[in-house]
Amino acid sequence: MPIISSTYKAPLFFKNGFVSTVYSGLVRRLSLEQQRERIILSDNDFIDLDWSYSTGKTNKVIVLLHGLEGNGQRPYMLGPAKLFNENGIDAVCVNFRGCSGEPNLKYRSYHSGATEDLVDIFNHLINVKQYSEIYVHGISLGANMILKYLGEKSDVPSQIKGVVAVSAPCDLNGSCKELHTIKNKLYHDNFKRYLVNRLKDKQIQHADRLSVAEINSIKTLIDFDNVYTSRAHGFKDAQDYYKQCSSLQFLPQISIPTLIINALNDSFLSPECYPIKEAKHNKNLFLEMPSYGGHVGFVKYNGYYYNETRALEFLIKDHSLGI
């Protein structure tokens, strides 16, 4: 599909990518009543789902997928959940393994390409919850995950009608390199601290799989992926993980309406994370590249962010997509 011209106009102060990213992650506040459901995965681990509902009965649900070290209560999850609830659609905020406030059971956890967990979630929504229309809004890591899922699966359930992927690191190696630059040191160090602290808890659970010395050797995010992510999830090393799980290679096979919204001033994304060629050659793939927005920082003053109202427009109101 042709590249979409964005209509997003950032408020003056939020044209700075750093400001919009930090404000959205640390300052924005939203409240939403949620109900938690725990589902058992195929390998007998668990994932917690946080539900919010529309006022009337509906057969439609939107699935919200968070980013690295996120959870179902982050404002970028609550915003679209609340908006879709107000428009007659139930919402489920997924907490990836170990992200709901309780350590998961297995040594493995979540990662950018863990699409096997999405299979279990979608099966639950279809077979147990009986939803006939499913939409997905993925953020950052969650965006890459759902894009990979759509392109690698030849049997995507017909109930999945459309997807919006926001701030999607389509090339994990490129995005990782960007996170290791000086301009992103604050973000890099924050992510590393959270990940290492979580890994310390996991080491206590699984002392036979991971040593304290190995944890102490982690100085960068690449180190983390070499020491833990790759080994725990069946990859040779960090580079093998990035190569196998980058969604970029799967975009040509996407067969349902999918919108990627990646801001041009997103400091987390490398040039390879803007899949212009892939969008131009796939009628189901739409790419929107606003000039501003940082990383998940598409601020608007009306309460909802641009990516949230844009998702509602694309998934529900734009009947030209055949949804």
Per-residue model confidence as pLDDT tens digits over 219-250: 999 999 999 999 999 999 999 999 999 999 99
- Both 31 and 116 in one domain: the answer is yes
- Both 215 and 303 in one domain: the answer is no
Contact 166, 137 (CB under 8 A): yes
Answer whether residue 81 is part of any domain.
yes
Amino acid at 296: V
- Both 226 and 255 in one domain: the answer is no
CA 200 – CA 281 distance, rounded (Å): 45
The position carrying tokens 């299979």 is 119
- Both 83 and 228 in one domain: the answer is no
Which helix (H) or strand (E) covers residue 52, if one does? strand 46-52
Answer whether residue 6 is part of any domain.
no
Contact 28, 19 (CB under 8 A): no
- Both 280 and 135 in one domain: the answer is yes
- Both 160 and 28 in one domain: the answer is yes
Bridge partners (DSSP) of residue 134 are: 61, 160
CA 176 – CA 140 distance, rounded (Å): 12
Domain final residue pick, 245, 277, 299:
245
Answer whether residue 5 is part of any domain.
no
- Both 238 and 274 in one domain: the answer is no
Answer whether residue 191 is part of any domain.
yes
Contact 146, 138 (CB under 8 A): yes
CA 161 – CA 169 distance, rounded (Å): 22
Q: Tell me the CA end-to-end span of the chain in Å, nearest whole number.
A: 16
Which helix (H) or strand (E) covers residue 61, if one does? strand 60-65
Answer whether residue 7 is part of any domain.
no
> Which residues in the chain land under pLDDT 70?
318-323
- Both 64 and 209 in one domain: the answer is no
Domain final residue pick, 230, 245, 260:
245
For residue 317, the model assigns a pLDDT of: 75
- Both 132 and 256 in one domain: the answer is yes
Answer whether residue 4 is part of any domain.
no
- 102-96-224 Cα angle (round to 5): 90
For residue 27, what are its two tokens? Answer: 């300052």
Buried-exposed string 268-297: b where 16+ CB fall within 10 A, e elsewhere: bbbebbbbeebbeebebbbbbbbebbbbbb
- Both 160 and 253 in one domain: the answer is yes
Contact 307, 299 (CB under 8 A): no
For residue 320, the model assigns a pLDDT of: 42
- Both 192 and 234 in one domain: the answer is yes
For residue 321, the model assigns a pLDDT of: 45
- Please give the radius of gyration of the chain, using alpha carbons only, rounded to the nearest integer: 19
For residue 319, the model assigns a pLDDT of: 42
Which helix (H) or strand (E) covers residue 133, if one does? strand 133-139
Answer whether residue 195 is part of any domain.
yes
Range of the domain at 228: 172-245
Bridge partners (DSSP) of residue 47 are: 39
For residue 323, the model assigns a pLDDT of: 39
Contact 61, 129 (CB under 8 A): yes
Domain final residue pick, 245, 276, 294:
245
Model-wide pTM > 0.85: yes
Contact 78, 46 (CB under 8 A): no
- Both 43 and 64 in one domain: the answer is yes
Answer whether residue 2 is part of any domain.
no
Cα pseudo-dihedral 179, 102, 64, 12, rounded to 10 = -50
DSSP character at residue 295: T
For position 305, which CATH number holds?
Answer: 3.40.50.1820
Q: How many distinct structural domains can be found in the chain?
A: 2
